[in-house]
Structure 1
Amino acid sequence: MTFTEELRKDADPIFEAIFNHPFVQGIAKGYLEKEQLIHYVKQDFEYLNAFMKVYGLAIAKCDTRDDIRLFNNQISFVLNSEIHPHHNFCQVAGVNYDDLQYEPLAPTASHYIKHMLSVAATGSLGEIIAALLPCPWTYWEIGKKFMNELKPDASHPFYDWIAFYGRESEEKSLTEVLCERLDQWAQTASEDEKQKAKNHFTKSCQLEYGFWQMAYTLEKWPVDLVTV
């Protein structure tokens, strides 16, 4: 069993909980409340901004041009391609994407971002990959699961979202590329380093679930300063 196969096996209960989360099931069923879609997009816009910063910090710890190219390409992907799922949610919600940007972070989004930035600032390249990996991995599996089980067409309200993450491609997915790189790193990493990477991976998986919960419940900070 490879290192990433072990990570996935240990995190399977979290993956299953994500698949069955009411927000994720709402995507499958084609219905979510407008406010839930808006809250998700607002928070994910900020999350992806942080994700690009983590990629940048990872570049600073790369020893090869292949690794630099990997993370640099992903910054470009987030900037230019990963806006499409957001546009799908905004279209269904009937709102303008540009109006949902640069919003204050909800507690879970803030926690997740600080977790990743902390690992990026203090951890090794393998630890950074482990902290980043649950985001593309869970979405990749959700997309594939929905494409295979639902076989959606363009009439599905969230077809663009599902197809973006689940459509088959001749090229390796980001998940597969990152898994290969993390497995390569693990071959020479110490047991202590690998345990740290496992901890980061598990925490990010938990926070992926928390992100869906945050969007579904419209999570806010407990005290509204506007009304105090």
Structure 2
Amino acid sequence: MTFTDDLRKENEDIFQMIFDHPFVQGIGKGELPKEAVEHYIKADFEFLNAFIQVYSLALSKSTNRDDMTYFHEQIQFTLFDEVKPHLNFSEYIGVRFEDLQGHPLPPSGDHYIKHMLYHAYTGSLAETLGALLPCPWTYLEIGQELINKYHPTAEHPFHKWIHFYAESGKETEEMRKRLDVLAANAPLEEQQRIKDAFRKSCQLELAFWEMAITYETWSGDMAVTK
């Protein structure tokens, strides 16, 4: 069993909570409040901007061209390919994607990106990968779970979103392989930091879905809108 196999096994509880979350199940059913989808897109656009920054920091920690090429490709994937699921959601709510950009992150999203940036700035490359991996991994398995459970046809409103992530296994597998190599040579103390970073990212993935379905905002902003 590899290091990332252990990570997945140790965090089965959080993965299952994510699969069962009302927003995720709403994607599978093709039924979501448009306001929740809008809230999600606004937050996820800014989150992915931060994800690109974390990849850039990982690139700066790389000592060989193979790693540099990998992180460069991941930046390109996030910049240009991950627009597609956002466009699918934007079409569903009838709002231009451009109008959903540049909004402040809700607390859970803000917490998540600062968690990743902390590990990227203070930790090793392996620790950085540990904080990054839950995002692509949970989305891959969400897509696969929703296909297996709901068998969405081309007419399903979120067909493109579901298939985009269900077919993103290459990206997740490559990140897992790199983390497995690095973790195998890491001391026990570093391995534990990787595990802590991974679990917290899983928990924050769950919080991100909850943020969307509850329209989470900062307390002061809530007071202003009442």
TM-score range normalised by the length of the shorter chain? over 0.9
Matched residue, 2:76: 76
Matched residue, 1:66: 66
Moved more, 62-71 or 126-135: 62-71
Matched residue, 2:141: 141
Query: How big is the shift at 1:226?
Result: 4.0
- Cα deviation code 1:25-77 (max 9, x no counterpart): 00000010010000000000000000000000001111111111111001111
Kindly indicate which of the two structures has a greater share of residues assigned to helix: 2
Classify the secondary structure of the residue corresponding to 1:137: helix
Matched residue, 1:108: 108
Q: Name the amino acid aligned to 2:162.
A: I
Matched residue, 2:2: 2
Matched residue, 2:195: 198
Matched residue, 2:220: 223
Alignment partners' CA distance in 2, 1:152 and 1:226: 41
Moved more, 40-49 or 140-149: 140-149
Matched residue, 1:180: 177
For structure 1, the residue ranges without an aligned partner over 5 or more in a row are: none
For structure 2, the residue ranges without an aligned partner over 5 or more in a row are: none
Alignment partners' CA distance in 2, 1:75 and 1:227: 36
Q: Name the amino acid aligned to 2:127.
A: E
Query: How big is the shift at 1:149?
Result: 2.8
Alignment partners' CA distance in 2, 1:79 and 1:129: 18
Alignment: residue pair count: 225
Alignment partners' CA distance in 1, 2:33 and 2:165: 21
Alignment partners' CA distance in 1, 2:152 and 2:217: 33
Give me the TM-score of the superposition, normalised by structure 2.
0.97
Q: Name the amino acid aligned to 1:12.
A: E
Alignment partners' CA distance in 1, 2:47 and 2:190: 26
Alignment partners' CA distance in 2, 1:223 and 1:138: 31
Matched residue, 2:19: 19
Query: How big is the shift at 1:153?
Result: 1.4
Give me the TM-score of the superposition, normalised by structure 1.
0.96
Classify the secondary structure of the residue corresponding to 1:173: helix
- Cα deviation code 1:89-115 (max 9, x no counterpart): 111111110000010110000000100
Query: How big is the shift at 1:116?
Result: 0.5
Query: How big is the shift at 1:206?
Result: 0.1
Contact 2:29 2:150 in 1 (8 A): no
Matched residue, 1:189: 186
Alignment partners' CA distance in 2, 1:68 and 1:86: 27
Moved more, 152-161 or 203-212: 152-161
Query: How big is the shift at 1:151?
Result: 2.2
Matched residue, 1:88: 88
Aligned identity (percent) is 54
Contact 2:136 2:171 in 1 (8 A): yes
Classify the secondary structure of the residue corresponding to 1:152: coil
